[in-house]
């Protein structure tokens, strides 16, 4: 880690909080009085903060969470009401794609909410409370999902007369299996963190009282103990493999191996193990 790894930094946005601490960027959705309901300003701020974190060499891991009691209650009701009343501009805003995160990235990762996989650093969804509708979809595009034991989840769409939005019909079956995905989408029932863990929707459930600290500890472990280059390359490989046959994934990995053997992080990975000391990875 750089010498400034323990320096805490902060930036100001309209609908989020952003800070960097010990190699981890924390992006907090910050409309707690609205259970962090998603609107255009939040969309803009999250994308801007992800870009800052992506470009910051001190940041090695990103945590996305919510302020207050909720993670994200989905699309802001004011936006939904404007669509319901026939506001064509609001309707187009919901379905229009953003500019690509990276023009060289997989085209599948250049849509309005599918760009998280194109961010070259791990994104952890720290689901501190309710995740509904679009809020749930955002967590599915993250690499890892941790939940507080009081968190609750719902797809919500069928109870609003909507459809399986923004790629959740592709994401959810891959995460939970087809039957669980169909159950959650068709019924839009609310499930607990324990049930989410049982069906693989989240990978870990942590006590609410220590949730923030527990997630931060895991994120800082990634930021300090493993190679940033490995994280970057593995994230690219995992998401790319979702569209590849096994043979293609093997060939792609074989092509990635020689550069990894030549990398500074590989040399450091061997050296710190042999010398029995903490690693000093650079990401190169």
Task: For residue range 122-138, list pLDDT tens digits in order.
Answer: 999 999 999 999 999 99
For residue 213, the model assigns a pLDDT of 97
For residue 266, the model assigns a pLDDT of 86
Reported pTM: 0.89
- What pLDDT band is residue 6 in, cutting at 50, 70 and 90? very low
- Over the stretch 168-179, which tens digit does the pLDDT of each residue have? 999 999 999 999
Q: What is the phi-psi region of residue 22: left when phi exceeds 0, alpha when psi lies from -120 to 50, beta otherwise?
A: left
Q: Which two tokens stand for residue 170?
A: 């592709």
For residue 270, the model assigns a pLDDT of 86
- Over the stretch 216-238, which tens digit does the pLDDT of each residue have? 999 999 999 999 999 999 999 99
**Could you say which DSSP state residue 191 is in?**
E
- Dihedral sign (CA 85, 71, 240, 259): positive
* pLDDT greater than 90 at residue 46: yes
């Amino acid at each position: 880690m750089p010498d400034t790894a323990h320096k805490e930094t902060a930036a100001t946005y309209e609908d989020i909080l952003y800070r960097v601490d010990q190699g981890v960027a924390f992006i907090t959705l910050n409309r707690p009085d609205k259970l962090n309901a998603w609107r255009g300003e939040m969309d803009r701020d999250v994308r801007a903060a992800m870009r800052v974190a992506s470009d910051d060499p001190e940041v090695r891991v990103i945590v996305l969470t919510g302020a207050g009691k909720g993670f994200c209650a989905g699309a802001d009701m004011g936006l939904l009401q404007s669509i319901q009343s026939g506001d064509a501009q609001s309707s187009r805003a919901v379905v229009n794609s953003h500019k690509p995160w990276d023009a060289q990235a997989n085209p599948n990762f250049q849509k309005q909410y599918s760009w998280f996989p194109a961010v070259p650093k791990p994104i952890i969804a720290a689901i501190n409370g309710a995740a509904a509708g679009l809020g749930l979809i955002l967590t599915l595009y993250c690499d890892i999902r941790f939940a507080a034991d009081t968190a609750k989840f719902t797809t919500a769409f069928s109870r609003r007369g909507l459809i399986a939005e923004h790629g959740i019909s592709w994401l959810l079956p891959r995460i939970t299996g087809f039957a669980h995905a169909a159950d959650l989408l068709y019924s839009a029932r609310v499930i607990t963190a324990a049930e989410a863990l049982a069906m693989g929707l989240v990978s870990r459930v942590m006590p609410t009282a220590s949730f923030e600290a527990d997630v931060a500890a895991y994120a800082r472990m990634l930021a300090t103990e493993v190679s940033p280059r490995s994280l970057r390359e593995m994230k690219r490989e995992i998401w790319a493999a979702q569209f590849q046959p096994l043979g293609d994934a093997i060939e792609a990995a074989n092509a990635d191996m020689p550069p990894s053997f030549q990398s500074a992080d590989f040399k450091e990975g061997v050296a710190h193990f042999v010398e029995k000391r903490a690693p000093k990875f650079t990401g190169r």
